[in-house]
Structure formats: C-alpha cells, structure tokens
Structure 1
Amino acid sequence: MAIEKENSVVGIEYEVKEAGTTEIVDSNKGAQPLEFVMGKGQIIPGLENALVGMNEGESADILVKAADAYGEVNPEAVQVLPIEQFEGVDLQEGMTLYGQGENGQTVQVVVKSFNDKEVTIDFNHPLAGKDLMFSVTVLSSREATADEAATGQVGGGHGSESCGSGCGCH
C-alpha cells in the first residue's frame, strides 16, 4: 500500500546526517523500526511529506531543509541565567541538560558558555538551522485502525514504543 498523507501507519528504518557531512546524527538501523501514524505531526514535516506515495520495501535519500526539520535558529532562545541555578552541576561547554518547561514538559538545553557568575544556555534544538539528509527504508505501511487514527498511537495506545527520542520525532 502506498503511504497516504493521513492515517497510514508507517514503520521506517532510517539514518540521518547533517546535509553535506558524513557524521551520522541518528539512526535506528538494526533496531526497532520507527512506527508512527501519518498526519499526526509525530515526525518532522519535511520527512513526513516526502514519505507520501512511497511503498513498503522502497528506499530513498531525502533532503529535509532546516525550515521543514527543526526550524531555524531562534536567537531569543539563548538565555543567560545566574550560576546559582546550576548548583551541583559539573558544567562543561557544549553539555546537554534537561529541565522542566513552563507547561511541565521536558526541555533540552545546551550550555554555550559560563563563568563564575552566569551561564549562557541555548533552548534551540541541537539540529535547528541545519539541513538534514535522511536515508530511509519503508519497512511497513498499512491503513490505521479507527483507534490509531483517533489517538495517533500505533496499536491503539497500549504501551507501544512507537516514537522514541529519535531524530525523526517531534
């Protein structure tokens, strides 16, 4: 079945690199397929749109521009905070920290720099502003059940591990 824009359940194997480089930033090759319901915003829009019309067993290299991946870098997402807020943390430039956002969601920040008074952190996704090259193979494609279409959960939401922390996910 060709993948449709909405309510197809798709399983893919992927590898992603920053466009123009050879370094793999994420991959699920040799692991569980990434399964998701099309049209639910579970993966980045550029990848989801490129999968429409592909069939099971088909492979493709898909270039996703930054605007259709994790967006452009937002300069307002860089903040300077007092170092006291990082008490007990062995700070290092470039390290990733996880905190809690305004609505209770987990947020990821990168330490840009610090001194003895303050810490500069960046809330932008680490891949913001970057074009991505996905090598994708469609492992499965089927019509979503009514439950899956309604909930967006593969298998009707019964503890499915459909969307981990992979690069393709939101």
Structure 2
Amino acid sequence: MEIVKNTVVSLQYKMYDSEGELLDQTEADEPMVYLHGGYDGIFPVVEEALHGKKTGDSVDVTMEPDDAFGEYDAELVRIEPRDVFPEEIEVGMMFEADDPESGDVMLFTITEIEDGKVVVDGNHPLAGKRIRFAATIDEVRPASAEELEHGHVHGEHGHHH
C-alpha cells in the first residue's frame, strides 16, 4: 500500500545534526506511528517526502531550521529572580510557564543559576539547527474511521483513550 492521505504510517527513523551526530532514533520495537495527510504528526517536509512511498522504502531529508524546530530566538531567553522558583532546581530542568505577551503556555529550560538569578530559555533545544531525518517505512495501512475523526493514530504505538 502506498502512503497517501488518511493512511497510518509506521517507520523507524534516525535524526542527526549537521555534524552527523545522532540526536534521536526509534527503538526497534517502538516505531514512530503517525496519521498521514496534514495532521501535524510529523514534520511537513518529511511527510511530503514520504508521500507515495511503500513499506520497505526509505527517505533521507535534510531540514533547515524553519522546517524543523524553528530559528533560535534570543528574546525567548529570560533572566528571572531565583526566589520565583521552587527550592530544588538545577540546570537542565524544564517547566511550563505562561507567556505574558501571547498568553500561550511555553516550555522553558533552565540554562544557568547564578548570583540569585536563573536564566531560562524558551527555545527548543534544537532550534536554529539543520536536521537530517533518515527513515525506513515499516508498515502502511488505512486509517480507521475513529482515527480520522480524532486526527491521530490509536492502538499499539498510537494514542490511547
């Protein structure tokens, strides 16, 4: 079966930075599974490359920052007073906070704790980086009516209600 709109795609992938360092990969027994056809389950550029492929086919896509995790935005780095944080914090911890400008909930990472101040960064850790996404398709199947109604995959390796 070909990958077309409203099919469920199961694949194994490896993701690399521009220096060829492995950033992420699927485990053999835990493939990535997504609903194909513009449901935001995978990077749009990768979805486009997968369209029309079949089980066993491979794709290798290099994405610029705008196609992957976005450009690095220095305005998303903030310095906050230490006393607005819980007692037990350390560099690398992540937390959600409301963005006062947009009202959206954002994910921030603590990058520095020093002199009564905490530096937090709202950029994705891979923002500003060129990413290579190499994948092999394990399986393609028609999506169920329920999956189409909900806009995501159900069952093994998918969403559970």
Q: TM-score per shorter chain, which class?
A: 0.7 to 0.9
Cα distance in structure 2, aligned partners of 1:149 and 1:19: 35
- SS of 2:46's equivalent in the other structure is helix
| Alpha-carbon distance in 1 for matches of 2:82, 2:130 | 33
Aligned pairs, number: 155
SS at match of 1:41: coil
Q: Which runs of 5+ in 1 are unaligned?
A: 164-170
1:154 match: secondary structure: coil
What displacement does 1:100 show?
A: 4.7
Matches of 1:69 and 1:44, distance apart in 2: 7
Matches for 1:1-170 after TM superposition, within 5 Å: 1-4=1-4, 6-21=5-20, 23-38=21-36, 39-92=38-91, 95-101=92-98, 107-155=106-154, 160-162=156-158
Amino acid in structure 2 at the alignment position of 1:98: F
Please report the TM-score for the alignment, with normalisation by the length of structure 2: 0.84
Q: 1:110 to 1:138 in 2, by over 3 A?
A: same
Residues 90, 148 of structure 1: alpha-carbon distance in 2 compared, 3 angstrom cutoff: closer
In 2, the alpha carbon distance for the partners of 1:62 and 1:14 equals: 11
Cα RMSD between the aligned structures? 2.2
| Residues 46 and 65, structure 1, Cα contact 8 Å, conserved in 2 | no
Q: Quote how far apart the aligned CAs of 1:145 are.
A: 1.9
Question: Deviation at 1:104?
Answer: 8.8
Residue identity opposite 1:108 in structure 2: L
CA contact (8 A) 2:72 2:127 kept: yes
Percent of aligned pairs sharing the same letter: 29
Please give the secondary structure, in 2, of the residue aligned with 1:54.
Answer: coil
TM-score (norm 1): 0.80
User: Which residue identity does 1:24 align to in structure 2?
Assistant: L
The alignment partner of 2:30 has SS state of: coil
Question: Deviation of residue 18 (structure 1)?
Answer: 0.7
Q: How far off its partner does 1:31 sit?
A: 2.9
Is the Cα contact below 8 Å between 1:96 and 1:108 reproduced in 2?
no
Where do 5+ consecutive residues of structure 2 fail to align?
none
For residues 82 and 31 of structure 1, what CA distance do their matches in structure 2 show?
Answer: 44
Tell me how far 1:111 sits from its aligned partner. Answer: 2.1
Deviation at 1:143, TM superposition (A): 2.1
What letter corresponds to residue 35 of structure 1 in structure 2? Answer: V
Moved more, 112-121 or 31-40: 112-121
Output the CA distance in 1 between the equivalents of 2:88 and 2:115: 13
